[in-house]
Amino acid sequence: MERLQKIIAQAGIASRRKAEDLIVAGKVQVNGKVITSLGTKISEKDEVLVNGKPIVKENKEYYLLNKPRGVITTTNDEKSRKTVLDYIDTDARIYPVGRLDYDTTGAILLTNDGEFANIMMHPNNKIEKVYVAKLNGIITVDQINKLKKGINLDGTLVVPQRVKLKKIDASKNTSIVEIIIHEGKNHQVKRMFESVGILVDKLKRERIGIFTLANLQSGEYRKLTPKEVAIVYSLKK
């Protein structure tokens, strides 16, 4: 059994909040009866009409994209810039799970399964996000230790699971660092490095949970396997 507004939202009719407005306004019927209570739960067997039209449930789709640099992580952009949806060949109403900055590359998931997205993004599930950062400067041991102890962002102490120096190029005054985090705060990785006095030149997310880029080139994507989807659902608490 699922809440009525969630079923409407998953069908792509409206956002969950807009679906609630439709219910309160008496625009939704279940099995021929007008429903105005937001606490109503229904099953897959129930017939739902919104504004007199039956909702059509989409088949669930799941994708992993290697997002290129300069692509917006959203379903549309008012400036007509490329979005992650431009790279996926589907008619389903998919959307990105979380986000990557405009100039950040790498792994991002897209789906039309709200429950799957919630599991991947819920902080209690502590999904690992693995980033590799190219830094403008040579990071010091002291700076790395400060990162390991945790950085205060927006009033919350953010402690990375791992910080590992991978490479130093003294001739170019750059360094490469791998950092693993669980949170998904806005510009989090860049802000963490900035807080210890070093700037990020390039940032790539190489893994989200079990999902790695493997052989995906920039701009390429693949469908998730049923086994991968089942593994994500096994994390549900």
Of residues 101, 103, 142, 169, which has the active-site annotation?
Answer: 101
Q: Is 46 a catalytic residue?
A: no
Q: Locate 49 and state its tokens.
A: 């009409």
Measured CA to CA, the distance from residue 236 to residue 44 in angstroms comes to 21
Q: Which two tokens stand for residue 226?
A: 């049923």
Q: Name 20's Cβ contacts closer than 8 Å, sequence gap at least 6.
A: 5, 38
Q: What is the SS3 assignment for 212?
A: strand
Contact 221, 87 (CB under 8 A): yes
Residue 216: how many CB atoms within 10 A of its CB?
A: 15
Element (H, E) at 28: strand 28-30
Q: Which helix (H) or strand (E) holds 199?
A: strand 199-208
* Catalytic residue ranges: 101
